[in-house]
Amino acid sequence: MPGENLSREEARDRAAMLSVERYDVALDVRSAVGPADPAGPRTFRSTTVIEFRCSSPGASSFADLVAPSVTSVRLNGRDLDPAVVFDGARIALDDLAERNTLMVDASCAYSRTGEGLHRFEDPEDGEVYLYTQYEPADSRRVFANFEQPDLKAPFTFQVTAPEGWTVISNAEPDGEPVPADGGGSVVRFQPTQPISTYITAVVAGPYHVERDHYARTFEDRGVLDIPLSALCRRSLARHFDADEIFEVTKQGLDFFHDHFDYPYPFGKYDQAFVPEYNLGAMENPGCVTFREEFIFRGKVTRASYEHRANVVLHEMSHMWFGDLVTMRWWDDLWLKESFADFMGAFSQVGATRYTEGWITFANRRKSWAYRADQLPSTHPVVADIRDLEDAKLNFDGITYSKGAAVLKQLVAYVGQEAFLEAARRYFKRHAYGNTTLDDLLSVLVETSGRDMAAWSRSWLQTAGVNSLTPHAVYDEQDRITELTVLQTADGEQPELRPHRVAVGLYRRVPGGAVERYARAELDVAGPSTAVAELAGQPRPDLILVNDDDLTYCKIRFDEASLETLRSHLGDVSDPLARALAWAAVWNMTRDALMPARDYLALVLRFAGRESDIGVLQSLHQQARTALTHYVAPPGREEAARELAEGALRELRQAEPGSGHQLAWARFFAAVAGSPADLQLLQGLLAGSAKIDGLDVDQELRWTFLETLTAEGLADEGVIAAERSRDDTASGHRHEVRCLAARPSAAVKAAAWTDVVESDKLSNALVEATIAGFAQAGQRELTAPYTEPYFAAIEDLWAERSIEIGMAVVRGLFPSLQDRQETLAATDAWLSGHPDAAPALRRLVLEARDDLARALRAQECDARR
């Protein structure tokens, strides 16, 4: 749509001229219930009053609004013709005064894609639920505004809703609800602090609510009392463990108050778990929203609870990093997301029972970063964000997890206290304002005395990941005479960075464990750095560069260390060191330095001994990726059989009822393929087969059923029967996924039509259909869709919302057609569409890179 993709230059010019004093927004969402209008989209009334200043009276600007229709526009008492000033995305504002009042009355559309004001109808009880999701620029789908982060203002919201609904927003209600003309009730909220448009929020519906409060006494500020609430759909209330969420919330508030020396600034703290959510969560101040999958319907492992706690703390840290102090433009998105990703693990380890947070960070979050940093779309942590489409795609592994790893390196570089003191000064100096990189660096210089310019150039303003490899020389007594760390850079990113690292020496001890006996911490710079402190040490069995995971790099091994890992990886006693070793051999597999079947052999040999459940589940996920994409095609069948045999063995040997048993059950279902394996899954579903301690609850039943469906052993009737057991929103998503997974050409054609040629499905059902369509064992059924994919994506990108566009372009890329012909077809599309939207080209380039990587890994595996 013309004007919908705001550019950085447009935002800069508008911010230089305008300043916003207040918003008053009234939404009438009573239309969310009852019959829809058959003539068009279901809409709600949105009226907005904006008071703002203009530094250049007489100049022109624009407000943002994406809506089916506008009833009226009034600027400074003048009625403007909506047909003239509104183009579907912008409202033209001419002849501005020094002080201005803009009034807009519009009909805005409820969303089915998770963008703007999303409407969801619960299939279990027919209740309707609403919530907003705006990042980076979807508040304009709900009310007229100036949609950019540096035009902050106080907001006053008023919501007219059906009778009996719970309605929450960023601030506390300003009194009790009052009856509305025509039925329902009106809730008016107190004005917020100055905040950006993208973190305003409204949640409305017959939500189940649980309440608590947090109290803290400060010597210089008195008592801080924060009302807490947690919300979910009524039909999920029986599964809702709000006490656990409140516990982590209070621990986090204590931690951040202790370390930030700035009290929580937004009054109350609501946390709403909402349906069909596109993200993990969103940091709306005072009204945080989460995907409701964090309410566990069945048994999950400790890793799931740990992950949820991390997300709760990640969003809480945003109250300071992002909400109190906000980046000026999306170039500096890292100023909130990198810090929140770091603070999530930092506070989790420091304040909760999930003390394994840094192990998870090393094994899972950094794997995401390493992948993103080796794509052709890699970018510096401080990115070059030209427009809103760029911004949407930069919520990636670099902005989040590489940035967080860089901050962990920064803490090692300047010291923890200097880092935290810089944060305290940053909050106090820029409260309710907007910042750039220089604002943060200036306080770091003050607190650390370090030259931050060179550090920033290397770590924040260049892209790519370095590899660190040890090289040791020994004397006749098998003692180290020289140990050096060799640093290299990958591909087109030549930067060699300064690293603060620890180098650990490990050896086997009586009893078989591999344990560290010496460690040195040093600064690594340039292509080669001597580790003088370890000279004279006895020969190690394993040299681990980046021991304790202080820096961001890919770890490589000398040949002796690699041989130790092949034979004894599971014997490394320290769980963080073991996780780092697992991550390193996975990176080697992705980089075609280790055959995929060698990696799978390590998983088969040692994963059953992995104590950390989060690491184990990562190994399962990576093993599936290796099997699907990196094993040479002639070896896939045997590799799958060996994995299934190993998974079943570990499943039967796991402690009954344990998280490890559950993880192995899910992995077994994912790789099962032999008649005996599939018969066992059928028996577990029917109750005729048992594994001691394994509770085949509803979620696990769907996991087993998807495998059976994809193998042609469960038809539409079986799926319908399972849905009748689970007539819920989750059951509907599982049903859609299973239906699309059936091994039939007609089924694939119908799924393709539903996703590509129609927009009838919600975001959650688009995701489920794509997941069912793209089955690794059905390459021949999806092969005919390579050409249609490339024929469809440009028009689809132009016609659908960016969220759906991203899901389809990523999810339906023909990655399972892992042949040179597919690579050539991708290259032909890229060369033939140079003017396609840059964000679309980026997605295709990334998918092409993954495909090329898979082909290189298969070549490596074939030489095994």
Cross-strand bridge partners of residue 270: 229, 287
Question: How far is the C-alpha of 454 from the C-alpha of 234, rounded, in Å?
Answer: 54
φ, ψ dihedrals at 45, nearest 5°: -85, 135
| CA nearest to 308, candidates 246, 258, 368, 260 | 246
- Sign (positive or negative) of CA dihedral 403, 409, 414, 420: positive
- The catalytic position among 115, 147, 306, 315 is 315
Q: Are strands 269-274 and 287-291 parallel, antiparallel or unpaired?
A: parallel
How many Cα atoms within 13 Å fall on the side-chain side of residue 94?
A: 6
Distance from first CA to last CA of the chain, Å, rounded?
52
For residue 11, give Cα distances in angstroms to 143, 147, 148, 388: 18, 9, 7, 10
The residue length of the chain stands at: 864
315 is catalytic: yes
Cross-strand bridge partners of residue 104: 48, 73
For residue 820, give Cα distances in angstroms to 438, 633, 775, 842: 46, 13, 20, 20
Q: Are strands 18-28 and 155-161 parallel, antiparallel or unpaired?
A: parallel
Q: What is the CA radius of gyration of the chain?
A: 28
| CA nearest to 281, candidates 328, 324, 235, 249 | 249
Question: How far is the C-alpha of 275 from the C-alpha of 122, rounded, in Å?
Answer: 9
Cross-strand bridge partners of residue 544: 504
Question: How far is the C-alpha of 472 from the C-alpha of 558, rounded, in Å?
Answer: 8
Q: Which two tokens stand for residue 763?
A: 């975001």
Query: Tokens 């090393």 label which residue?
Result: 362
- SS3 at position 350: helix
Give the helix/strand (H/E) hosting 852.
helix 838-862
Question: How far is the C-alpha of 329 from the C-alpha of 338, rounded, in Å?
Answer: 15
Residues 6 or more apart in contact with residue 693 via CB below 8 angstroms: 655, 656, 657, 658, 661
- Sign (positive or negative) of CA dihedral 576, 581, 585, 590: positive
Residue pair 323/287 in contact (Cβ under 8 Å)? The answer is no
Q: Which two tokens stand for residue 53?
A: 């200043």
Give the helix/strand (H/E) hosting 347.
helix 334-351
φ, ψ dihedrals at 119, nearest 5°: -115, 130
Query: Tokens 């719970």 label which residue?
Result: 166
- SS3 at position 457: helix
Q: Which residues are tagged catalytic?
A: 315
